[in-house]
Amino acid sequence: MQLSTILSPERTVCNMPGVSKKRFLTSISEHIAESSSSLSADAIYNALLAREQLGSTGIGNGIAIPHCRVQECTQIIGTLVQLDEGIDFDAIDSQQVDLLFVLIVPAEETDEHLRVLSGLARLFHQETFCQALRDASSSDELYQTAIRFSEQSQS
């Protein structure tokens, strides 16, 4: 999986205020909707919230991969976020979350959805990848770091 196919500099946010899980989901839904003319913030938020109610997407070690299918979505959209401080995300290890990759997928893309989630989980289980993301001091540096690691893991 090449992150560059689903992630853009506009959807990479460094030092985003954390506050709470619900506030994060609201803010990130608005951010994603701003960069996509076919998606509304309400549709994204409602789908992300419904998915979180099924079980937390906090995978441990300060990482969460909130994901959902949205009917109006026409292509897979990724958004990478580094929070300025960790938030409670009901993660499986009860740790605060400070790195998130939000994935919005077209409703009919079941197989691709699972393939991308699997690729993201592999990336985020690399300690050096996560530390490099945490060390980034700008959105551009965060984006470049993610893309570089993604390309390296493909070779």
Which pLDDT tens digit goes with each residue over 4-61? 999 999 999 999 998 899 999 999 999 999 988 889 999 999 999 999 999 999 999 9
At 133-155, the pLDDT tens digits run: 999 999 999 999 999 998 887 66
pLDDT of residue 1: 62
CA distance 61 to 111: 26
Which class does domain 3-154 fall in? Answer: alpha beta
pLDDT of residue 153: 76
Domain segments of the chain as ranges: 3-154
Residue 155 neighbours by CB distance under 10 Å:
4
At 75-105, the pLDDT tens digits run: 999 999 999 999 999 999 999 999 999 999 9
The beta strands (E) that lie in 1-155 are given as 12-16, 58-60, 63-64, 67-70, 77-87, 97-106
- 148's CB contacts (< 8 A; 6+ apart) are none
Catalytic: 31?
Answer: no
Strand-pairing partners, residue 101, are 80
- Encoded tokens for 97: 């979350």
